[in-house]
Chains A and B, each alone.
Chain A
Amino acid sequence: MPNDPVIRTHKLSKTYKGVQALKSLDLEVPGNSIFGFLGPNGAGKTTTIKLLLGLIHPTGGSAEVFGHDIVGDTIDVRRRIGYLAQEPRYYEHMTARETLRFTARCFYGGPKLALEKRVEETLELVGLADKADRPIRGFSSGERQRLGIGQAQVNDPDLLILDEPASSLDPMGRRDVLEIMERLRERATVFYSTHILDDVQRVSDTVAILNNGELVAKAPIEELLAGSDGIVYTIDVKGNGSDAEQRVAGQPWVSDVQITREHDCAHWLVRVTDDTAAESQLLRLMLADEHVVVTAFGRRTYDLEDVFMNLVEENGDGER
């Protein structure tokens, strides 16, 4: 089932020497989604990723990836994952081709011809074909990141886990990474941590925000950007709007109207209970009044940055 959760955690916890890095995380990541995992430094994002990969051991709770337990069936979990670490490190003496060949052989037994073809295709895909036979020690950070993306998808993974994939890239590199993520959405789930909120807003379907090791929000991106204070329309108005105000406030689907004035302009916040009615009638009601000029009209949405900052500040500043 494509949209069944591919990752399920149940009260997953991790403590390092008395410090709780992850506190009882309950998370479900739907299949074929691009799932953005946000949080300030030290929030527990990398800890969660490392737990899923079996690189560290949970101190409490459990988690499953594709129905496999992350502790007992870690090899089965890793067979279906492609992973790019925050600061990926490879064997410096190896070439890009050797690195991809080594990675591919972790997943495939052969035949050699098909394996080499997969390596070649991956080199092309990440734009390293012309540097394929150079040792990695001479690679720039952008080339290393490209290699990282290549090795993370050489096994055609069902789940791609990327830990801060664009943090060290220039704008072109970031664009490439986002394109690869979008391309993979059709046949894989992408779970990635980041603090670059623009990228999240651009490509993610669902977002989870972690702070101080705790999940503080998880929702589809549209829901998160709509805010938590109900359906609110914003209207900028010029002229005398007192009649219009009475008319709007008198509608049964309007719960509140707040107006702030500045010079000859007024900024209206209209809170409604029925979005369908508001969509079809609100603007019409305003335009029906010949004493007012509507200069802006729309449903209020938030920037992810606003949502993120509000949630993180409500739950502490993320520093430990």
Chain B
Amino acid sequence: MESASVRLEVAGGRGPLTGFGNLVDKEYGTWFRTRRALIHNVLWLAVINGLLLLIGLDEMGRNPYFILDELIEVFFRACGFFAAIGIVVSTQSSVLGERKLGTAEWVLSKPVTREAFILSKFVVNGASFVGLAVLIPSVVFFLQTLLLAYLQPSLAAFLLGSAIHVELLVFYLALTLALSTWMNSRGAVSGVAIGFMFAGFILPGFLPWLLAGTPWALSEFAATAARGRPLPAEAWQPILVTLLWTVLLVLVALWRFNREEF
């Protein structure tokens, strides 16, 4: 097929990320060339900022600093919990659905690597979700605190808290992707991931040392940091360990997906 006077250039690259750019564009398309991003945007504004609005209105007339503290606490703990569930539910079928429907087989029959397939999902789902469930609600949150408490949180402190919050979400994204390369049921993937989340409410009561090796305390640290208060001395450990867990889970997902047969 002689295509055009301008010749097509064969895609270069031979490494493990062959096809990554094209797959990233395709993944962005699943968010932003469909109604998915709009739905998420409306959902998270309603859940996060709606809840904050109700609480703020209820607390009107109290000390503004108290209101601001309370709103930050709710933003990072309650809404952080909803967002963590959200990232599990919204990405549980990202890999599993493609494995089961056969689109993964189709894509992988082209010159793209399995590493590029998984990493594009990790990068795009992470960035899109964080944008829609953290970044936009955060901007609205700043306006809300101004209207409800006539104050705004310290930007630097809020960014530190957000970074910890994002780390927690990215951990759950990596966990969901890793599970969805192993398991064959969406229920099992989300069940294990959300079950792990709920275990964080119960198990540390009996086994407090678990908090050092899991992300369960990160929401509390995020809220503390965003309020401008110093983090406990031992906070670095779960923050670092969660980062390592995330990397490990991504590696597990890559390893498992490389063994998948279509």
Contacts and interface: CB of A to CB of B under 8 A. Distances in A.
Interface of A: 50, 53-57, 75-76, 78-79, 81, 83, 85, 87-91, 93-94, 98, 102-103, 105-111, 113-115, 117-118, 121-122, 125, 153, 156
Contact of A57 (B11, B33, B105, B261): B261
B173 to A, nearest CB: 21
A156 B102 contact: no
B199 to A, nearest CB: 34
Given A57-B261, A107-B10, A89 B4 contact: no
B113 interface: yes
- Residue among A55, A87, A88, A103 with most chain B CB within 10 A: A55
B102 A91 contact: no
Interface of B: 1, 3-4, 6-12, 14, 18-19, 22, 25-26, 29-30, 33-34, 101-103, 105-113, 259, 261-262
16 contacts: A50-B261, A55-B261, A57-B259, A78-B109, A78-B110, A83-B109, A88-B102, A90-B106, A91-B30, A93-B30, A106-B19, A106-B107, A107-B10, A107-B110, A114-B7, A121-B1
A102 B23 CA distance: 8
Contacts of A121: 1, 3
Given A89-B105, A91-B30, A109 B9 contact: yes
A102 B105 contact: no
A121 B6 CA distance: 14
Contacts of A111: 6, 8-9
A91 to B, nearest CB: 6
Nearest to A93: B34
Contacts of A76: 14, 111
Nearest to B19: A106
B113 A113 contact: no
A193 to B, nearest CB: 15
Contacts of A115: 8
Contact of A50 (B1, B113, B262): B262
B22 A55 contact: no
A106 B11 contact: yes
Given A56-B261, A102-B22, A75 B113 contact: yes
A93 B25 CA distance: 14
Contacts of A113: 4, 6
Contact of A75 (B3, B25, B106, B111): B111
Nearest 3 interchain pairs by C-beta: A89-B102, A106-B110, A117-B4
B110 to A, nearest CB: 4
A268 B19 CA distance: 64
Given A87-B102, A106-B22, A118 B4 contact: yes
Given A98-B29, A109-B11, A111-B9, A91 B103 contact: yes
For the complex, would chain B's binding face be called helix, strand, loop or mixed by DSSP majority?
loop
A78 to B, nearest CB: 4
Contacts of B111: 75-76, 78-79, 106-107
Contacts of B33: 93, 98
Nearest to A187: B1
A167 B224 CA distance: 63
A55 B108 contact: yes
A129 B82 CA distance: 45
A88 B11 CA distance: 24
B29 A117 contact: no
B7 A89 contact: no
Nearest to B258: A57
A109 B106 contact: no
A76 B14 CA distance: 8
B216 to A, nearest CB: 36
A89 B7 CA distance: 30
A114 B19 contact: no
Contacts of B102: 85, 87-89
B105 A55 contact: yes
B103 A89 contact: yes
Nearest to B100: A89
Nearest to B11: A109
A203 B101 CA distance: 32
A164 B3 CA distance: 28
Nearest to B103: A89
B14 A75 contact: yes
A23 B1 CA distance: 38
A63 to B, nearest CB: 16
A94 B262 CA distance: 22
B194 to A, nearest CB: 26
- Greatest chain A CB density within 10 A among B12, B26, B103 is at B26
Contacts of B101: 89
Given A106-B11, A107-B11, A85 B3 contact: no
B30 to A, nearest CB: 7
Nearest to A73: B14
Contacts of B25: 102, 105
B108 to A, nearest CB: 6
A83 B105 CA distance: 11
A110 B10 CA distance: 8
Given A117-B3, A153-B1, A109 B10 contact: yes
A193 B106 CA distance: 17
Contact of B109 (A53, A91, A93): A53
Contacts of A91: 26, 30, 103
